[in-house]
């Protein structure tokens, strides 16, 4: 009997999905828990696993756009055909081989996706409790066991490098909101001078989203510059003690998030949005952090920032880094932010005018830190300086409020002790 594999519902506003990479060939025998295909929507990517043993039959080719609920494949249930090799008897390969650390144990029952993530993250599967059938370790179990790294964790740590062919989970990195790669070429290059590609659903969604932001909002950007000496000095002074106590390094992003929260509390207009002819003012502080991945830009949301410590914010960012590497970011991680911070400085940007992430009314752009001559108390000194850019919706935020907000951010960063003292 043929069992149907359908495109699952991945959000109320998502009506279709595109077939990305087939991980199993048409006619290939698959087993429970094996990843068979990656699907992409206009918000996220996800992997579909086989829920039974049998022969896989593709219902559509890679690159096809299908409605939610459409049949993507069928599985003809039955035993493995003659000549096939049981997984436990197969010779070790790149995905199954035990790495030098010895953390992936082939005797532990785990799905292939869980094994790949464990191998990439250095997780000992023998120490992970399985929640699947019969105690099998699933992807979610491994993600829950990913321990925070102790390395530096600025936003640049969330940039996912190009993956090796065996890291299928990373190839399925979740993406949303502002950037994405396009699909494979749909036509042969003409004379080697051009290549024509069909826009992916995500890219089409992005195009509409950004054009609407430009059309609907009255965008204006104001600038300032910030002396980063105090933060650099404070981090150098307390870094060893901070790591010893919290197990993570003190990065830059926690300072910026805390400074933004302070400024939002000072200027509530930046923590509001328009819905029709009503202004909706938020009284919570869930801050989106725009970060780059291999397949585009995503904006995970750090929630409840007003009540979190610097250490907890750094740990949250590390958690998102792990999710980005393994493709574990979900829609819930990307929704509900009231303000966004984006760091073009990690790419070398000196100055930019970021675009709003609707319906938010403000976005703060960070940039490269450069040593520049500055006049301080009548003397020329060299200071590490960063340009700050605040793009805001002028329909609900006046120029005075925007400048006040940005000056408040600047003051918090130049005098971080004020944030700790609440003054």
Q: Cite the active site residues.
A: 394, 398
Instruction: Write out the two tokens for 227.
Output: 């002396």
**Do residues 147 and 317 lie in contact, with contact meaning Cβ atoms separated by under 8 Å?**
no
DSSP state of 164: P
DSSP assignments along 166-199, one per residue: T-HHHHT----TT------BSS--BTTTB--BPP
**Do residues 345 and 368 lie in contact, with contact meaning Cβ atoms separated by under 8 Å?**
yes
Q: Quickly count: other Cβ atoms within 10 Å of residue 178's Cβ.
A: 19
How far apart CA 148 and CA 319 sit, in angstroms, is 7
How far apart CA 63 and CA 39 sit, in angstroms, is 9
How far apart CA 195 and CA 289 sit, in angstroms, is 33
**Do residues 59 and 74 lie in contact, with contact meaning Cβ atoms separated by under 8 Å?**
yes
How far apart CA 189 and CA 195 sit, in angstroms, is 5
How far apart CA 357 and CA 253 sit, in angstroms, is 19
Omega before 40 cis (within 30°)? no
């Amino acid at each position: 009997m043929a069992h149907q594999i359908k495109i699952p519902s991945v959000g109320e506003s998502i009506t279709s999905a595109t077939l990305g990479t087939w991980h199993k060939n048409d006619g290939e025998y698959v087993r429970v828990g094996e990843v068979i295909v990656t699907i992409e929507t206009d918000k996220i990517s996800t992997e579909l696993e086989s829920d039974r043993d049998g022969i896989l039959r593709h219902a559509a080719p890679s690159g096809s756009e299908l409605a939610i609920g459409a049949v993507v494949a069928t599985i003809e249930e039955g035993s493995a055909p003659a000549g096939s090799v049981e997984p436990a008897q197969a010779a070790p390969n790149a995905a199954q081989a035990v790495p030098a650390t010895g953390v992936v144990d082939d005797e532990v029952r785990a799905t292939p996706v869980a094994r790949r993530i464990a191998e990439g993250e250095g997780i000992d599967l023998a120490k992970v409790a399985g929640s699947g059938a019969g105690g099998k370790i699933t992807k979610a179990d491994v993600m829950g066991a990913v321990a925070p790294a102790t390395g530096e964790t600025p936003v640049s740590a969330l940039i996912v490098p190009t993956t090796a062919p065996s890291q299928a989970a990373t190839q399925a990195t979740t993406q949303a909101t502002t950037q994405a790669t396009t699909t494979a070429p749909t036509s042969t290059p003409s004379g080697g001078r051009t290549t024509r590609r069909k826009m992916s659903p995500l890219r089409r969604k992005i195009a509409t989203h950004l054009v609407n932001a430009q059309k609907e909002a009255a965008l204006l950007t104001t600038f300032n510059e910030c002396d980063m000496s105090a933060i650099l000095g404070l981090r150098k002074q307390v870094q060893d003690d901070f790591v010893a106590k919290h197990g993570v390094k003190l990065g830059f992003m926690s300072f910026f998030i805390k400074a933004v929260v302070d400024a939002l509390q000072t200027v509530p207009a930046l923590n509001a949005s328009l819905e029709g002819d009503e202004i909706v003012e938020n009284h919570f502080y869930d801050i989106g952090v725009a970060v780059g991945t291999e397949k585009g830009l995503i904006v995970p949301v750090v929630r409840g920032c007003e009540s979190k410590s610097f250490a907890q914010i750094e740990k949250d960012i590390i958690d998102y880094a792990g999710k980005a590497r393994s493709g574990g970011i979900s829609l819930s991680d990307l929704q509900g932010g009231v303000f966004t911070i984006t760091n073009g400085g990690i790419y070398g940007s000196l100055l930019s005018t970021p675009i709003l992430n609707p319906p938010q009314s403000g976005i703060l752009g960070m940039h490269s830190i450069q040593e520049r001559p500055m006049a301080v108390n009548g003397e020329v000194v060299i200071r590490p300086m960063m340009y700050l850019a605040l793009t805001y919706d002028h329909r609900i935020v006046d120029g005075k409020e925007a400048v006040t907000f940005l000056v408040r951010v600047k003051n918090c960063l130049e005098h971080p002790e004020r944030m700790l003292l609440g003054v």
